[in-house]
Amino acid sequence: MIRSFNLRIFMIFWVVLCVIVAAHHFIFYPLMAEILDINIIPEQGLIRGALPGDNQTYYLIADKIFNSKMSFGDKLFPIGKDPNYFIGLIFSQFLYYFSGHSLLFYSWFVNTPLMALGLMQIYFVARQFKIPDRTLYILMFILVFVPFNFYSVTQINKDIFTFVFFALSLNTIFKINSSGSFPSLNISLICIFAFVLFAVRPYQLTLFSVSWLLLSFLFLIRTKSILCAVKPIFVSGLLILVYFLAAHFIGADPRVNEMDGLSSEVTTYPVDVLGKRSQNQNHSIGQTDGISQKESIGQTEGISQKESIGQRENISNNDVTTHTDNGMAKDSITLELVIDNLILKLNGYRQHFINSTPVAAMIIDRDLRFNSLADLVAYFPKGIKNLIIEPNPFRLLGDKKGYVNPVLKWFYLPWMLYLYILLIKMITMNIRNMHSYEALLLSVFIFSTLLPYAYFIPNLGTVARYSSPMIFYLASVLAFSQVNSR
C-alpha cells in the first residue's frame, strides 16, 4: 500500500537538500557572483544568495513588511490581493529573526522541508512502478537539479508551492487507486496547501480541479464503479470550494480583476499602505539582465489598461443574452457561448503575457489567435511538443539574452540533453511499461495539469518552469519502470 509520510525518508531528503543549499550558498553562488559581477546590494533587491529575477520583487516586499509598524495580524490582511505578497510575508519573518540579509536560513527552514515533503510524496508513487530503491533515490536527487527546481530550492520563489501541491495530489491519486480508500490525511494536506496555492497562483488551483475531474472518467472506465469515480469528483469539488472560500475571505484573484477591465494596479498593500518604491528601486528591479518583472508590486511596466486582458474587444460576460419570440431578453448560456468565452479569455491571457514581457526571448507565436474549437484541436500537437522538448538547446544557444540569467541558461542545456536521452530510453527500451494502467494514470494527470499552460502562456520559459520537473519525473518513472518486466 502506498504511503504518505515516513519520518526517516523525510529526514534523508531534508538533510541532503540542506547540504546542497549550503554548498550553493558558500561555494557555487560566490563563483557565480564573481563571474557575473553580481552586486549584492540590499537596496537594489539583491541579498546574499540571490540571483537576478523574481526574488528581487519578493525581497522588496519583505523589506517593506519588515520595516512596517503594523501588527502581524494586520500584515496578514492583504494576502490574496497580490500573488507575490504571501512569499514576501514569509521571508519578512526571516529578516526579523535572522540577520545578515541572507537566503540561507530561509532555504533551510522553508524551501528544503517543502521540497523534502514533495519528493517524499512522489518517491512513494514511483515505488509503485517497482523501481529499485537505490535507483529511485538517485532519480529523486537528480530531480532536485532540474534547473527550475534548483532555482526554487535556493531562491525566494513561488514555484515550490506548486511542486508540493502537485506531489500531494499525485500521491493521493495513487493511494485511492491502490487501496480504494479515501486518505483523510492526504485530503487534509491538499486542502491546506490549496489555500496557500490560492494565495500565490490561484489559476493553478482551477487547473488541478479540472485534472481531478478528468481522472474520474478514467477511474470509471477502469473500475466500472460509480463509487470509485465519485472520489476524484469529490476532491475536485473540495478544490473548487476552497477556491471560493479563499476568494471570499482573503480576496479575489487579481488576474480576474484584469480580465474584467479593471485597473491592473491591483496591489493594495505594498503600494497604498507601505508606500510606493522610489524611482531608483524601480529602475534597479527592471534592469535584471533584460528580464522585466511581470509580477512587480503595483507596476504594469508600461501596459495600458486598453491592452488589459479584460477588454476582450468590448465583449462583456454580462452581455450574453438571447431574445424570445416576443422580443424580451432572456439570459441563456449555451456550450457555444462557453467555448467562445473561453477562447476570448485564452487569447486575452496570451496577449497579457506578451504585453508584460514584450522583449522576452522565449515568447513564440506572438500573432497567434484562436478563433474556434478546431483551432484549439489543431494546436494540440504543438502544445505537447512545447511541454516536452521546449525550449530546446538550439533555441537557447541562439538567444542573446533571457532565460532568467546566463547561469540558468547553461545549467538548463545539459539537463535538456539528459532529458532527451531519458525520453529515448523510455520509448525504445520500456515501451511495454507504458501500457500499464499506472503509467496511463500518471501520464493523464501530468498532461491534463500541464497542457493548459501550453495554450495560455506563449512564453516557453514560463511554461518550462511548470512543466520541466513534472516531465522529467514522468520520463524517469516510465524509463526505469519494471511493472510489466519479465
- Residue with cell string 485534472: 211
* Crossing angle of the two packed helices 147-154 and 159-179, in degrees rounded to 10: 110
Give the model's confidence band at 380: pLDDT under 50 very low, under 70 low, under 90 confident, else very high: very high
pTM of the model: 0.80
H, E, C per residue of the chain: CCCCCCHHHHHHHHHHHHHHHHHHHHHHHHHHHHHHCCCCCHHHCCCECCCCCHHHHHHHHHHHHHHCCCCHHHHHCCCCCCCCHHHHHHHHHHHHHCCCCECHHHHHHHHHHHHHHHHHHHHHHHHHHCCCHHHHHHHHHHHHCCHHHHHHHHCCCCHHHHHHHHHHHHHHHHHHHHHCCCCHHHHHHHHHHHHHHHHHCHHHHHHHHHHHHHHHHHHHHHHCCHHHHHHHHHHHHHHHHHHHHHHHHHCCCHHHHHHCCCCCCCCCHHHHHCCCCCHHHHHHHHCECCECCCCCCCCCCCCCHHHCHHHHHHCCHHHCEEECCCCCEEECCCHHHHHHHHHHHHHHHHHHHHHHCCCCCCECCCCCCCCCHHHHHHCHHHHHHHHHHCCCHHHHHHCCCCCCCHHHHHHHHHHHHHHHHHHHHHHHHCHHHHHCHHHHHHHHHHHHHHHHHHHHCCEHHHHHHHHHHHHHHHHHHHHHCCCCCC
Please report the pLDDT score of residue 414 as a whole number.
Answer: 80
- % of the chain beyond a pLDDT of 90: 27
Number of domains comprising the chain = 1
Please report the pLDDT score of residue 267 as a whole number.
Answer: 34
What is the distance between the alpha carbons of residues 326 and 27, in angstroms, rounded to a whole number? 78
Mean pLDDT of 382-409: 70
Range of the domain at 106: 7-289+304-480
In-domain check, residue 294: no
In-domain check, residue 311: yes
Cell readout for 171 is 500521491
Please report the pLDDT score of residue 275 as a whole number.
Answer: 31
Please report the pLDDT score of residue 5 as a whole number.
Answer: 87
Of 32 and 403, which is predicted with more confidence? Answer: 32
Are the CB atoms for 212 and 169 separated by under 8 Å?
Answer: yes
Please report the pLDDT score of residue 328 as a whole number.
Answer: 43
In-domain check, residue 2: no
Mean pLDDT of 36-53: 68
Please report the pLDDT score of residue 144 as a whole number.
Answer: 92
Q: What is the pLDDT of residues 253-272, one digit of tens each?
A: 443 333 333 223 323 323 22
Q: What is the mean pLDDT of the chain?
A: 76
In-domain check, residue 204: yes
pLDDT at 316 over 50: no
Cell readout for 286 is 527592471
What is the distance between the alpha carbons of residues 49 and 458, in angstroms, rounded to a whole number? 30
Could you tell me whether strands 321-323 and 329-331 are parallel, antiparallel, or unpaired per DSSP bridges?
A: antiparallel
Give the model's confidence band at 473: pLDDT under 50 very low, under 70 low, under 90 confident, else very high: very high
In-domain check, residue 297: no
Please report the pLDDT score of residue 286 as a whole number.
Answer: 33
Please report the pLDDT score of residue 167 as a whole number.
Answer: 95
Cell readout for 419 is 532529458
In-domain check, residue 486: no
In-domain check, residue 298: no
Q: What is the pLDDT of residues 83-120, one digit of tens each?
A: 788 888 888 887 666 656 788 889 999 999 999 999 99
H, E, C per residue of 193-260: HHHHHHHHCHHHHHHHHHHHHHHHHHHHHHHCCHHHHHHHHHHHHHHHHHHHHHHHHHCCCHHHHHHC
pLDDT at 358 over 80: no
pLDDT at 292 over 50: no
Please report the pLDDT score of residue 320 as a whole number.
Answer: 40
Between the alpha carbon of residue 442 and those of residues 172, 361, 469, the distances in Å are 12, 32, 14
Q: What is the pLDDT of residues 184-219, one digit of tens each?
A: 889 999 999 999 998 888 888 888 998 999 899 988
Please report the pLDDT score of residue 264 as a whole number.
Answer: 30
Q: What is the pLDDT of residues 132-147, one digit of tens each?
A: 999 999 999 999 988 8
Please report the pLDDT score of residue 41 as a whole number.
Answer: 60
Please report the pLDDT score of residue 208 as a whole number.
Answer: 92
Q: What is the pLDDT of residues 324-357, one digit of tens each?
A: 444 444 445 687 888 888 888 888 888 888 887 7
In-domain check, residue 256: yes
pLDDT at 156 over 90: no
- Which amino acid, one-letter code, is at 263? S
